[in-house]
Amino acid sequence: MKSFIGSLALLTLVSCGKNTEEFLYNEHHRDWQLVQARAAKDCKENSKIFKAFKHRSDFSKYFNQESYYKVKVVKENGAKYNDFIKVQINGKSNMTISYFDTDRESESLSVEFTASLNNALVAAISNGVCDHRKTFQYGHSDLDRSDYLNFSDVRKEGDDSNYKQVTDDFKAVVSYPLALIYWNRSIKTYNKSSGSSETNTYSIEAFSKEKCASDAKCKQTDWRFGSAQMIVDPQAHDSQDLDSVIMELN
């Protein structure tokens, strides 16, 4: 009896509701561009991950006065080594990022990173991630996470039979200054005509001052290097040119 009444009640509950889903627009609809723009706006304004990065433009509130990071470098030629980064907070909206290139392949440098650069970088990333035009959209991980974001900027030059493609896979970690994505990425270059490809990978992890002091290479540096300028292009996603990158150091 109980099982029967239970079955009947369940049957009634199951049968009394209907949930459906439909797609309202497609690329042939006259309002398609409006829909894309609306979706992009919603994505930029409401995604948790972008809100988190924007909040962290108040550097002194969210980051330690002084912090260290280790950059693991793996190059296509087989070279593997660690570089180091020191971040010094100079106030609410300014920080100095010092990059110590232990391999000495390139110059160690010091970069000023500001709150406005932080916001420009958030805009550059969100413009690419939230662009719903297939050619220009960055591949990305879940935007409703508030701890990290993986995104891919794929650029391509040439025709289908002879092209060069660069794939930049970035990892932006919310607890690190956003500028550090410059050294938390994998860059893959593929040349169709020669069939050759090259991948160089940089990955960051937090490192303490004490660990730096006990690391043979990290402790060598006095962290005073030649200065470089960070340039952010919020519209970089809008072009497939190989040079159209979201950030550069000059």
Partner 1 sequence: MRTLPILCMSLFTFSASAAGFLDFRDESFRKEDLKEKKWIFNMGVDYMQYPTSLPAYDGTHANIKNEENYNIFGVNLGVGREFALGAGISTTLKTGGFYNKSFERNVGKASEDIDMDLANIRTDHMVYGGEASASLNYLVENKVLNFQPFLEFGLGAGVADVEKEYTFEGIEADRSDAEKYNVSAQEGFNYTKTSLGVNFISQQGVVSYIKATRMLMDVNQREIAGAINGEAQDSKEENLDENKEILSGSVGFGFLF
Q: Rule CB under 8 A: which residues touch partner 1?
A: 1-4, 7-9, 11-12, 15-27, 31, 34-39, 41-43, 132, 134
Helix or strand run (H / E) with residue 14: helix 2-15
Smaller CB distance to partner 1: residue 24 or 216? 24
Residue 80 bridge partners (DSSP): 74
**Minimum gap (Å) between residue 57 Cβ and partner 1:** 25
Residue 10, SS3 per DSSP? helix
Query: Nearest CA to 128 among 67, 43, 57, 198?
Result: 43
Smaller CB distance to partner 1: residue 23 or 159? 23
Whole-angstrom distance, CA of residue 129 vs CA of residue 143: 9
**Minimum gap (Å) between residue 102 Cβ and partner 1:** 44
Whole-angstrom distance, CA of residue 11 vs CA of residue 76: 62
What single-letter amino acid sits at 244?
Answer: S
Smaller CB distance to partner 1: residue 37 or 231? 37
**Minimum gap (Å) between residue 52 Cβ and partner 1:** 20
Smaller CB distance to partner 1: residue 10 or 213? 10
- List CB contacts of 215: < 8 A, sequence separation 6 or more: 82, 84
Two tokens, residue 53: 């990065």
**Minimum gap (Å) between residue 123 Cβ and partner 1:** 17
Smaller CB distance to partner 1: residue 142 or 205? 142
**Minimum gap (Å) between residue 38 Cβ and partner 1:** 5
Whole-angstrom distance, CA of residue 229 vs CA of residue 250: 5
**Minimum gap (Å) between residue 48 Cβ and partner 1:** 15
Whole-angstrom distance, CA of residue 55 vs CA of residue 51: 6
Whole-angstrom distance, CA of residue 128 vs CA of residue 40: 9
Smaller CB distance to partner 1: residue 86 or 140? 140
